[in-house]
Amino acid sequence: MMVKLELYRVFKEVAEAGNISVAAKNLYISQSAVSQSIKQLETALQARLFSRSPRGVSLTGEGRMLYDYVRSALGLLATGEDKLSQAQQLLLGTLVIGASDTVTGQFLTPYLDMFHRRHPGIRLKIVSGRSAKVLSLLKSGAVDIAFASTPTDREHLETWPCFPTHSVFVAGSGYDCDFEHVYSRREIAAFPLILLERKASSRGFLEQDFLHCGVTLNPEIELSSRSLLVTLAKIGLGVAGVTLEFVQDALDAGDIRLLKTNFTIPARSVEMCTLLNVAPTAAAGAFMEMVKDGTGK
């Protein structure tokens, strides 16, 4: 049995007013409508909820028991509606973003700062992970927005390109190589290579590009941290395959230098991803607009 919510609203108002006419005035409906609603509720529940007297109405024992639950339930509904309204107005809520530490540090930080200052009531949660992980979290609903490198499976995604990325090779400024020489793929592969671990999408992309040209990469050092690529290259342990946009500061500082090549690896891009045909939350929508507009830059 499902009783209409409006009947409970009328019941609560009558119980608190103790008078049909006062309840009708508070509800902006007629006295007959109030009486009819109470009659419908009593019939549906097969219980007498009010005792009538010339002075008004009062709850019966069954009515008092029901009233406690109705008051609590309607109070929770009102709170829920209020919370929803606040979330829609960006006064409270949670925004969960999936991104790698590098993307967060190199790209998202100013946007996160601006969003937090504009909407301090929204709790920001960052889930760290490589592209495959954050896209999996997005598809499962665990994050609202994912930032990933050139997603291959776009069937269920809405994407927005944020910035391009380019794979290059670097070495410490004192490394024993000729920085003026233009290296071929085979010459690059012959160096002691420092690369990200195989599960990194950029590593897989790099290897596939070399394999397509008949060259296999066999790194001497494999790392999970992009920053360590620069650190180990800087101290002369080998030539590192890196993303240009993520090592620009180290290049500008002279800690590492680019190796010239006679080939160019196709560019990729970091893209902002959401689920296709799934409306974003108000917070996610506001953050996405900031990224699209470049507001945080």
pLDDT of 232-291, one tens digit each?
Answer: 999 999 999 999 999 999 999 999 999 999 999 999 999 999 999 888 888 999 999 999
pLDDT at 297: 55
pLDDT above 80 (res 39): yes
What's the whole-number average pLDDT of the chain? Answer: 91
pLDDT at 4: 86
pLDDT at 138: 92
> Per-residue pLDDT tens for 40-78?
999 999 999 999 888 889 999 999 999 989 998 888 888
pLDDT at 273: 96
> Measured between alpha carbons, how far is 64 from 94 in angstroms, rounded to an integer?
38
Those residues with Cβ within 8 angstroms of residue 72's Cβ, 6 or more apart along the chain or in another chain: none
> Per-residue pLDDT tens for 86-111?
777 787 788 999 999 999 999 999 99
User: What's the whole-number mean pLDDT along residues 12-25?
Assistant: 93
pLDDT at 77: 86
**Does CATH place domain 5-88 in 3.90.1150.10?**
no
Q: How many residues does the structure list for the chain?
A: 297
Calculate what percentage of the chain has a pLDDT beyond 70.
Answer: 98
Nearest CA-CA partner of 2 in 38, 44, 43: 44
pLDDT above 80 (res 131): yes
pLDDT above 60 (res 133): yes
pLDDT category at 296 given cuts 50, 70, 90 is: low
CATH architecture assignment, domain 93-164+269-293: 3-Layer(aba) Sandwich (3.40)
pLDDT above 80 (res 80): no
CATH superfamily, with its number, for domain 167-266? Periplasmic binding protein-like II (3.40.190.10)
pLDDT at 63: 93
Backbone angles phi, psi at 50, to 5 degrees: -130, 145
Domain-wise residue ranges, the chain = 5-88, 93-164+269-293, 167-266
CA 31 to chain centre: 50
What predicted TM-score, i.e. pTM, was given to this entire model?
Answer: 0.72
Contact 230, 250 (CB under 8 A): yes
Same fold, 5-88 and 167-266: no
> Measured between alpha carbons, how far is 97 from 127 in angstroms, rounded to an integer?
6
DSSP code at position 105: I
